[in-house]
């Protein structure tokens, strides 16, 4: 597995500084936030200078299942541009989710679910033309009203019925919604396309109560071949911003270092344990 860091977690830190810090910490790549004002050529040159890759590209906060056509089509146009951007920077896939922070339906759950399916089918079609994958991020109920559990995600994939669309599970969100985090990984199986990591409090691995050894055993058990992206934030209010004060970036760097060390340790233990079975 390759390990990466979501650039969103560094807030407004300039991208060259973010990339330098991530490389110095020993990561393999970045999850590059979908800022379409970035120059793809400059991004590729910058990452190559630090021997890093773009592992995935998450979206800005747009609403592809909004019942108002103009809002939905604007959001969909952004996603189609994001796919072109992802291809240009060398990302193998994009992440997809509903509007973060909208926790109830405007029209009805059923209508918006159907609109979501239709929108993702259109996104998946363009992604296939570009040779890219799409991963549906499962968020918690305090950030989204659609796709809040792995089981809902699997039902959604069945309705979308596109082979290049898979799931993105995030341990922070799973901690809220899943009765058994490792079981959700096992049940997702080969439909798991990307894995986000933070402890139960969205801090470093080991600073909360998430059972990461069990999760790494499950990932190894399903022969997960995707990447692991760390999406950590320092303690503080407002989950929708990474800025928690003047010490945010130094705290984040400490969290990233701790997490990478533990994840590699747990992965090694999981691999060794499995070989003994």
What does the H/E/C string look like for 96-140? ECCCCCECCCCCCHHHHHHHHHHHHHHHHHHHHHHCCEEEEECCC
Rounded Cα gap, residues 125 and 95, in angstroms: 15
Mean pLDDT to the nearest integer, 241-246: 89
Q: Tokens 């952004």 map to which residue?
A: 78
Note the pLDDT of residue 157. Answer: 98
Crossing angle of helices 40-49 and 15-24, rounded to 10°: 30
Mean pLDDT to the nearest integer, 118-134: 98
pTM over 0.85: yes
Note the pLDDT of residue 274. Answer: 53
Note the pLDDT of residue 276. Answer: 41
- The rounded mean pLDDT for the chain is 96
Rounded Cα gap, residues 163 and 132, in angstroms: 11
Q: Does 232 score more than 90 pLDDT?
A: yes
Is residue 223 within a helix (H) or strand (E), and if so which, with residue range?
Answer: none
How does pLDDT run across 157-169, given as a tens digit for each residue? 999 999 999 999 9
Rounded Cα gap, residues 173 and 196, in angstroms: 9
Q: Does 242 score more than 60 pLDDT?
A: yes
The pLDDT confidence band at residue 258, using thresholds 50, 70 and 90, is very high
How does pLDDT run across 29-73, given as a tens digit for each residue? 999 999 999 999 999 999 999 999 999 999 999 999 999 999 999
- Residue 144 near residue 102, CB atoms below 8 Å: yes
Rounded Cα gap, residues 153 and 210, in angstroms: 21
How does pLDDT run across 177-213, given as a tens digit for each residue? 999 999 999 999 999 999 999 999 999 999 999 999 9
């Amino acid at each position: 597995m390759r390990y990466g860091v979501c650039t969103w977690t560094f807030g407004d830190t300039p991208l060259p500084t973010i990339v330098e810090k991530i490389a110095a910490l020993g990561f393999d790549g970045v999850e590059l936030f979908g800022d379409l004002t970035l120059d793809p050529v400059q991004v590729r040159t910058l990452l190559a200078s630090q021997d890093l890759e773009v592992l995935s590209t998450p979206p800005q906060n747009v609403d592809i299942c909004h019942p108002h056509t103009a809002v939905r089509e604007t959001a969909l146009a952004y996603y189609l541009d994001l796919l072109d951007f992802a291809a240009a920077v060398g990302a193998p896939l994009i992440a997809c989710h509903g509007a973060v922070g909208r926790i109830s339906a405007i029209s009805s759950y059923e209508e918006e679910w159907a609109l979501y399916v239709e929108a993702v089918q259109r996104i998946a079609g363009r992604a296939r033309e570009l040779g890219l994958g799409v991963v549906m991020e499962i968020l918690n109920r305090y950030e989204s009203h659609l796709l809040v559990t792995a089981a809902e995600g699997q039902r959604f994939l069945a309705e979308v019925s596109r082979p290049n669309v898979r799931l993105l599970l995030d341990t922070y969100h799973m901690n809220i919604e899943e009765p058994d985090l490792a079981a959700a990984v096992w049940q997702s199986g080969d439909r798991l396309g990307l894995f986000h990591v933070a402890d139960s409090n969205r801090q470093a691995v080991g600073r909360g109560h998430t059972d990461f050894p069990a999760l790494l055993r499950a990932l190894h058990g399903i022969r997960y071949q995707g990447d692991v992206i760390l999406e950590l934030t320092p303690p503080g209010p407002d989950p929708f911003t990474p800025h928690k004060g003047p010490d945010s970036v130094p705290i984040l760097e400490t969290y990233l270092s701790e997490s990478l060390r533990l994840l590699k340790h747990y992965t090694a233990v999981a691999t060794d344990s499995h070989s003994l079975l």
